[in-house]
């Protein structure tokens, strides 16, 4: 398989606890990969380690022509990696003192170095795409949970990153807002954006993913096409998990 994004030997420890244990994963351009598994098994830590929100202890991360060695990563390496990734947080992580438009502009001006005028134009385009063209001047406190998460996704979309990382994007939402956020992610996926999605929404994972990865105990236990993982899993641990959540 031709890899555009490769994770090799990625390991993360918190004290004596090894949360990620020698993770190996390869993504093709435009591939959508869903990560499922029990709580506390390292799924979110994997995403956070990929752009050094939680700095990994060992391993290499390759995006295109950029390779970062976790043990030797400099600030320049980490910034270069973050310029190629975009993160969607489960709790939105919007700036409360900035409008929806300003939240989308923030990464463009601070990470990409765009002028305010260029960033504003791009933010307006994104607001249109996420269905919030009329809420650009609204602050997060005036938006519903679903609208706030759409702004969070719009902020990530604006960066046009090589890899979008979604960390349980619907877990903080009231049930009535889940559908609109999942619909937006589906629309982005249709554009063949490379994605890693940690999710507890099994049906959504089955629909959107080209490949599903099951993690347990800080390791990848099994991976394969959705029909295989959900219909005929090979590992007893995968079967047991799917019985519990099914």
Q: Is residue 90 part of a domain?
A: no
Same domain membership, residue 190 and residue 118: no
50 and 151 together in one domain: no
- pLDDT the model gives residue 108: 95
Q: How many Cβ atoms are within 10 Å of 102's Cβ, its own excluded? A: 19
pLDDT value, residue 80? 94
Strands 163-167 and 5-14: unpaired
How much is the pLDDT for 35?
A: 98
- Average pLDDT for residues 93-119, to the nearest whole number? 96
- Tell me the pLDDT band of 1, cut-offs 50, 70 and 90: low
CA distances from 60 to 14, 87, 96, 166 (A): 19, 19, 35, 20
Q: Is residue 16 part of a domain?
A: yes
Q: Is 111 in the same domain as 232?
A: no
H/E element holding 142? none
Tell me whether residue 15 is in a domain: yes
* Chain segment 122-176, per-residue pLDDT in tens: 999 999 999 999 999 999 999 999 999 999 999 999 999 999 999 999 988 888 8
Q: Structural domain of residue 108, as residue ranges?
A: 95-160
* pLDDT tens digits for range 26-64: 999 999 999 999 999 999 999 999 999 999 999 999 999
At 18, the pLDDT band (50, 70, 90 cuts) reads very high
- Per the structure, the count of domains in the chain is 2
pLDDT at site 32:
95
* Domain assignment present for 89: no
Tell me: do 171 and 234 sit in the same domain.
Answer: yes
Half-sphere exposure for 227 (CA within 13 Å, toward CB): 0
Residue-wise pLDDT tens digits, 180-196:
999 999 999 888 899 99
Q: Residues 202, 175: contact at Cβ < 8 Å?
A: no
- CA distance readout (Å), 132 to 64, 65, 123, 135, 183: 33, 35, 11, 5, 14
Of 134, 160, 186, the residue that ends a domain is 160
Say yes or no: 216 and 102 in one domain: no
pLDDT over threshold 90, residue 246? no
What pLDDT digit, counting tens, does each position of 191-216 carry?
889 999 999 999 999 999 999 999 99
Q: What is the pTM of this model?
A: 0.93
231 vs 133: CA distance, rounded Å: 41
- Mean pLDDT over residues 5-25, rounded? 97
pLDDT at 194: 96
Question: Mean per-residue pLDDT for 224-242?
Answer: 97
Residues 171 and 236 in one domain: yes
One domain for residues 223 and 132: no
Residues 114 and 71 in one domain: no
**178 and 227 housed in the same domain:** yes
Percent residues over pLDDT 70 in the chain: 100
Pair 195, 223 in one domain: yes
DSSP label at residue 135: G
């Amino acid at each position: 398989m031709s890899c555009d994004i490769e994770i090799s030997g990625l390991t993360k420890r918190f004290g004596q606890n090894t949360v990620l244990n020698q993770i190996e994963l390869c993504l093709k351009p435009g591939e959508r990969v869903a990560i499922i598994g029990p709580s506390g098994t390292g799924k979110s830590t994997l995403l956070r380690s990929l752009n050094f929100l939680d700095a990994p202890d060992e391993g290499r991360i390759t995006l295109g022509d950029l390779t970062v060695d976790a043990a030797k990563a400099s600030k320049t390496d980490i910034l270069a990696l973050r310029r190629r990734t975009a993160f969607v947080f489960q709790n939105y992580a919007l700036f409360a003192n900035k409008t929806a438009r300003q939240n989308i502009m923030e990464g463009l001006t601070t990470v990409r170095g765009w002028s305010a005028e260029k960033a504003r134009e791009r933010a307006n385009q994104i607001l249109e795409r996420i269905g919030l063209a009329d809420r650009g001047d609204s602050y997060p406190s005036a938006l519903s949970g679903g609208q706030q998460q759409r702004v969070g996704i719009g902020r990530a979309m604006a960066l046009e990153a090589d890899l979008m990382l979604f960390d349980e994007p619907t877990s903080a939402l009231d049930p009535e807002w889940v559908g609109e956020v999942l619909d937006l992610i589906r629309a982005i996926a249709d554009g063949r954006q490379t994605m890693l999605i940690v999710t507890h929404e099994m049906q959504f994972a089955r629909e959107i993913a080209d490949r599903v990865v099951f993690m347990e105990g800080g390791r990848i236990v099994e991976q394969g096409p959705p029909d295989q993982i959900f219909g005929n899993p090979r590992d007893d641990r995968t079967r047991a998990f799917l019985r519990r959540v099914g």
